[in-house]
Every structure is written in C-alpha cells, then in structure tokens.
Structure 1
Amino acid sequence: MGIPEHEKLTIGEFFAAISGSEGRYELVGGIAYAMAGAKEGHNVICSNVQTAFVPAGKQKGCRTTSSDTAVQTGPDTIRYPGVVVDCGPPNAVAMTASKPTIIVEVSSPGTAVFDYGAKLREYQGVESVETVMQIESEIALVKVHRRQKNGTWTEETFEEFDVSIPLPSLATSITLNEIYDTLDVKPRPRLQVVRSDHTLR
C-alpha cells in the first residue's frame, strides 16, 4: 500500500500505509510526511543515549527504544523521536508507546527551529511525558525540559561535557561526554570581545 499524498489519514490507516514501506514517515494533522534520512552523528547520539538509559530503565520497569517507536501526540498526529523511554505496560505488538516518559530529539541546523517549537509543544501536551531532551548533533548543546508538579515546564541548558544531567524518572543521570561519545563535537562558539587599553589623545 502506498502513502497517499495530501490525503487525510486516520492513525490506523497511517500504520497500515507505512507497513512494509521503505521510507520513513510521520503523521501530522492526518497528513503523512516523509522524514529526512539521518546523518551518522544523529544515529550515534541516539545509540549512545539508548545505551546509557537501558540499564536504569529496566530497574524502573521501563523500556528504552530507538526511533522506530511511535509517540501519539494528538488525535491524528504520530511522531518518531530519536529515543523514547516507555514506562507503560509491555506490549510486544503495540505500534505506539503506551506511557512515554522521556523523549529525546536530536536536532540538526535544518530541523532545530521546528524541533524547538511545534514539536516540543506537542510532546509537552502528552500527559505522561515528564522530560524532553533536545540534543544538537553538530555542536555540544543539550536542552532539558522538565514538567513540574504544578504542570508548568522548566528549561535547562547544558554545554559542559562533564556536568551530570539528572533524570529523576530513571533515578540516573547522563553527561555530554556520554551523549557525544566517539563524535568530534565542539562547544558552541562564543563571542570574543577584544578591549584595548589605549585611549585616543
């Protein structure tokens, strides 16, 4: 079954349409959109994060899965984050995470604006999601969004490689050293201000 262009699909129709499809798609407002292929850096980061989360997730009865696990963010919207920690009941045939708790998105310069805007708001609208991590793939930069007890969200930025990022949902933490392991990723460039002690006379 092919992917209909510009045709509204239900979630069930979407999963049926992508079954056996070679391409990767997301469903947004009932429309299926092709996803761009990921670069090596993106894939390595997802693998590193998944490797770090798996042991802690098992201790909490959660499963840490890669970008093939869908998260339903609306009645007709399906997203595929880079990494999903699902703490709901296990179901080997489920098409979507039953209780996504931690969402990890890996951004590139071409996707950052969207990932930090509409997609972030979608994830924050999922009741079970407690933490959304946004990881830049080409510079050392991680933003962590956390749901507070009153329902509001806070944001922290991490740029130091050896600073621990706490993840209370899994009773663990992760560092940028672990996230970017084996990748040659540099810190974000900073403005260098040069001041002169000389005064004009």
Structure 2
Amino acid sequence: MAQRAEQPWTTDAFFAWQDRQQDRYELVDGFPIRMMAGARNVHDTITINLLSELRMKLRGSGCVPFSGDSSVETYPGRIRRPDAGIDCGRRDPNAYKAAEPRLVAEVLSPSTRDLDTLEKLAEYKSIASLDTILFVEPNAAQVAVWSRDAERAWERSFVEGLDAVIELPGLGIALPLSELYDGVTFPASPTMRAV
C-alpha cells in the first residue's frame, strides 16, 4: 500500500498549531521547523539592547519593535522569526506576524550564522515593505547593514566600532553601536568576524 504524502501546512494551520506548543517554530516549505534554543548571554544582551533602543526611538512614530516571538512572512507560506524587527503596519493584537515589517535584525551565533546570512538574507530581501536588514556580530562591534537605495535595490555596508551609528533615515532614527553593545565584553581574539 502506498503511503500518502503529508500535505504542506498553511500559515493559518501553522499558527493555530504553534499556539499550543512550548517551543518556537518557523514554517519552511510548508512544514514546522523547531528553532534552536539556548542562546548565549551575549546574544540575549544584544537583542534586549536593540529592542530597548528601538522602543525608545520609535515611541510616537506609529512603528513598534517586535521580538523573536513575533514573525515575518518571507515567501508565501514561509514564516521566519528574526531576533528583532520594526513593524509599521496596523498591528492586530491577535495576529502572529508583523503587518508591515520595515526592519529585521539577526544577532549572529555560530550555529545559525550561515543560515541567517545566506538563506534568510535572500528571503528577507523578498519582503516588499522591508527597508533594512541588520546582521549583528556578537564578537566585535560590527553590524552588516543591508538597505534599499532610492530605486529599492539592496546595498550592503558595514558599521564598525563603538563610536559608530547605524543611520535609518526612512524611520527617522539612528542606532548607536555603543547602545547595542552596552554590557558586552568582546573576546580578546574573536574567532568569527566580518559578517
């Protein structure tokens, strides 16, 4: 007897199922993928710093930050959970994803670095409303910034050093690296850099 192939899930079915799970999942090619757990403290510190800075800078703007508990739909039916982001759309309190994501950020880790900077990068670039993608290096004060130019084409730049600032003119804010890396002690000789 032939075995029936499992059907890919819709985003509605995925979110209904995810709502009953203890762990966080992403939806990839129609099937749930459990996310890695147990980030290092440095990852958590940078993520909290970024969300705190975004909350403070966006207050009153109509845009709000979101954490990795929320999500973005990259391709139809594909759900990703960046570490942080900015949603400038009308937020439904009962929804599970950003209505109009304008920025997503990933704090890199050894286990997800390649997935984030290669596969997820291509997916994030496909989101029409997205203006900025940040890849934050935890081993040094360095952020790879992907942003759209006037023709909406993607350009990459690097912002380095604790005195540097990430300018986000489309949102009317700037993020000082000194704030993102507040409380972070860098290794004497980083094993990974240059995202």
Could you state the TM-score of these two structures normalised by the residue count of structure 2? Answer: 0.88
Give the alignment's Cα RMSD to 1 decimal: 1.8
User: How far apart, in 2, do the equivalents of 1:53 and 1:125 lie?
Assistant: 23
Structure 2 counterpart of 1:13, one-letter code: A
In the TM superposition, residue 22 of structure 1 has moved relative to its aligned partner by: 1.0
Structure 2 counterpart of 1:11, one-letter code: T
What are structure 1's unaligned runs of at least 5 residues? 1-5, 191-201
In the TM superposition, residue 46 of structure 1 has moved relative to its aligned partner by: 1.0
Could you state the TM-score of these two structures normalised by the residue count of structure 1? Answer: 0.86
Q: Which has the higher Rg, Structure 1 or Structure 2?
A: 1
Task: Give the 3-state SS of the residue equivalent to 2:74 in structure 1.
Answer: strand
Deviations 1:43-78, CA, capped at 9 Å, x for gaps: 111110111111222232111111111101111200
Q: Does structure 2 conserve the Cα–Cα contact (< 8 Å) formed by 1:159 and 1:187?
A: no
Deviations 1:123-164, CA, capped at 9 Å, x for gaps: 111000000011122333210000112121111112211111
Q: Does structure 1 conserve the Cα–Cα contact (< 8 Å) formed by 2:139 and 2:190?
A: no
Deviations 1:143-195, CA, capped at 9 Å, x for gaps: 000011212111111221111111113212112211111111258759xxxxx
Other-structure match for 1:128:
129
Percent identity over paired residues = 32
Other-structure match for 1:63:
64
- Are 1:15 and 2:15 matched, yes or no? yes
Other-structure match for 1:74:
75
User: How far apart, in 2, do the equivalents of 1:173 and 1:186 lie?
Assistant: 26
In the TM superposition, residue 34 of structure 1 has moved relative to its aligned partner by: 0.8
Structure 2 counterpart of 1:10, one-letter code: T
CA 1:187/1:171 → structure 2, altered by over 3 Å: closer, same or farther? farther
Aligned length: 185
Task: Give the 3-state SS of the residue equivalent to 2:73 in structure 1.
Answer: strand
User: How far apart, in 2, do the equivalents of 1:55 and 1:33 lie?
Assistant: 33
Q: Does structure 2 conserve the Cα–Cα contact (< 8 Å) formed by 1:141 and 1:188?
A: no
Structure 2 counterpart of 1:141, one-letter code: Q
User: How far apart, in 2, do the equivalents of 1:168 and 1:156 lie?
Assistant: 15
What are structure 2's unaligned runs of at least 5 residues? 1-5
Other-structure match for 1:86:
87
Q: Does structure 2 conserve the Cα–Cα contact (< 8 Å) formed by 1:141 and 1:187?
A: no
Other-structure match for 1:104:
105
Q: Does structure 2 conserve the Cα–Cα contact (< 8 Å) formed by 1:102 and 1:129?
A: yes
- Runs of 4+ off more than 6 Å: none
Q: Does structure 1 conserve the Cα–Cα contact (< 8 Å) formed by 2:58 and 2:64?
A: yes
Structure 2 counterpart of 1:147, one-letter code: R
Other-structure match for 2:28:
28
